Amino acid sequence: MERIAYDGANRGQLREALAAFGLAPNKGLGQNFLCDGNACDAIVALAGDLSQKSVLEIGPGAGALTGRLCAAARRVTAVEIDDGLYRLLQARLGKTENLTLIHGDGLKADLQALVGEGPAAVVANLPYYITTPLIMRCLRELPQADTLVLMMQREVANRLTAASGKEYGSISIAVTYYASMEKGMTLPPDCFYPAPKVDSSVVVMRRRPYPIQPRDEELFFRLIRGAFAMRRKTILNNLSALFPKETAVAALEACGIPANARGEQIAMDAFIRLSDELGRQMENQ
């Protein structure tokens, strides 16, 4: 499909569109509009071949990515919560044949119903205040989406992609369980209107099965949430809030994990082994 005339990444067109609808960026919704056409092109390119895929865009804003996605993908579904921006998108892009605009909340929408069956991808400049829950919803509820290309605050991207250290945490492990990750690019504040106070990064997630699977997935996720519940506490103290202390001690000893270690010092594979051992310990009680 040919490029659509309206370009939400063009500052002039963006200002004209916002003024036409009496709109201003809503800080409460984390609205910082991407205004760099080259960056938008690069983000779409990071998703690879979209010609046979349905693409979900959550938080299209003023449509910086939307038109480009429509030009590249088989079908695009864009979910926008803001009343004014939804009206803007309907006026500027509503006649695009392969675009479905949804006025709703991405945290509450039935993502599976929106995307449908068949190959899919998620490409979005995520609203910063709901980045983590949206990522987890997409990974858990959209198995057909094999690629996610997501813009977020750089510090959030650093936490997602961390393999150890202070930035490593339960969200790092949870996302790694579902997908491999790489940082695609980092954009400074002047690429946005209004300019945020922090840099933004694009993270590319490619779905794949993790090489080691826990015996009990629910227990595994319960474990990693608990292990980082109080970051300054030792793994034993955190686990003792979830399991009988003697069970936690026995499981840690069986896995060779020091009781005084902290979650940030424990690799993902070790957490999977610990989850399996905790399951065995509880079965034997």
SS3 content of the chain, % helix, strand, coil (to 5): 45, 20, 35
Say what the pLDDT of residue 63 is.
97
Placement of tokens 């980092």 in the chain? 186
Whole-number Cα distances in Å, 44 to 1, 15, 84, 184: 14, 23, 25, 11
**CB-based contacts of 235, cutoff 8 Å, min separation 6:** 227, 252, 257, 258, 259, 260, 261, 262, 263, 266
Say what the pLDDT of residue 46 is.
98
How many separate domains does the chain show?
2
What residue type is assigned to position 181 of the chain?
A: M
Placement of tokens 């980082």 in the chain? 228
* Pairing assessment for the beta strands 120-125 and 192-193 based on DSSP bridges: unpaired
Residues 176 and 201 in one domain: yes
Say what the pLDDT of residue 27 is.
80
Kindly report whether the peptide bond that precedes residue 60 is cis, defined as omega within 30 degrees of 0.
no
Cβ(198)–Cβ(151) under 8 Å? no
- Dihedral of CA 26/29/32/38: which sign? negative
Burial of 15 (0-12, 13-18, 19+ CB in 10 A): middle
Residue 82 lies in a domain: yes
Say what the pLDDT of residue 105 is.
95
Placement of tokens 């990515």 in the chain? 65
Residues 150 and 25 in one domain: yes
Residues 143 and 239 in one domain: no
Q: What is the domain-level CATH number for residue 143?
A: 3.40.50.150
Q: Which of 182, 207, 232 is the last residue of a domain?
A: 207
101 sits in the region (left: phi over 0; alpha: psi -120 to 50; else beta) called beta
Say what the pLDDT of residue 3 is.
56
Say what the pLDDT of residue 156 is.
95
Say what the pLDDT of residue 221 is.
97
Q: What is the domain-level CATH number for residue 250?
A: 1.10.8.100
Residue 212 lies in a domain: no
Mean pLDDT of successive 10-residue stretches along the chain, which has 285 residues = 78 94 87 95 98 97 96 97 96 96 96 96 90 96 98 95 94 97 96 94 98 97 96 95 96 98 97 97 86
Residue 5 lies in a domain: no
The boundaries of the domain holding residue 92 are 11-207
Residue 6 lies in a domain: no
Say what the pLDDT of residue 29 is.
78
Is residue 54 within a helix (H) or strand (E), and if so which, with residue range? strand 54-58
Residues 94 and 59 in one domain: yes
